[in-house]
Amino acid sequence: MSNTIAVVIAVIGILALFAAAGALFVVLRKSASHPVTARQEAATGEGTLSPELAGEAERRIAEADLVATQAQRQLEDRGQGGGEDQGRAERHGP
């Protein structure tokens, strides 16, 4: 059972990484039309991105956080139920 939980946590982590990478890809793709100096400033964090690009990135990050939070809750719910089953099995033996 713990192996299943570990695999689910790993899958959720990978999905969150893909969501973050997708958001970064979208931002970089949309900012490709800007001059090189604008991209250098954005890379150092000193420049400003357009409000719609920043909004899109924030929205995708919020979505990834929401999915991760929901998955964590599901794991906790399943973990609590699984712990009860395991406790019953230990009391009653094989």
pLDDT at 17: 92
Helix 2-30 × helix 51-92 angle, to 10°: 180
The tally of domains found in the chain comes to 1
pTM above 0.85, yes or no: no
Domain that holds residue 87: 2-92
Query: Which pLDDT tens digit goes with each residue over 13-65?
Result: 999 999 998 888 888 877 766 555 544 444 555 456 688 888 888 889 988 88
* Distant-in-sequence, close-in-space partners of 5: CB < 8 Å, separation ≥ 6: 75, 78, 79, 82
> Tens digit of pLDDT for each residue in 56-82?
888 899 888 888 888 888 888 887 765
C-alpha 43/C-alpha 9 separation (Å) is 31
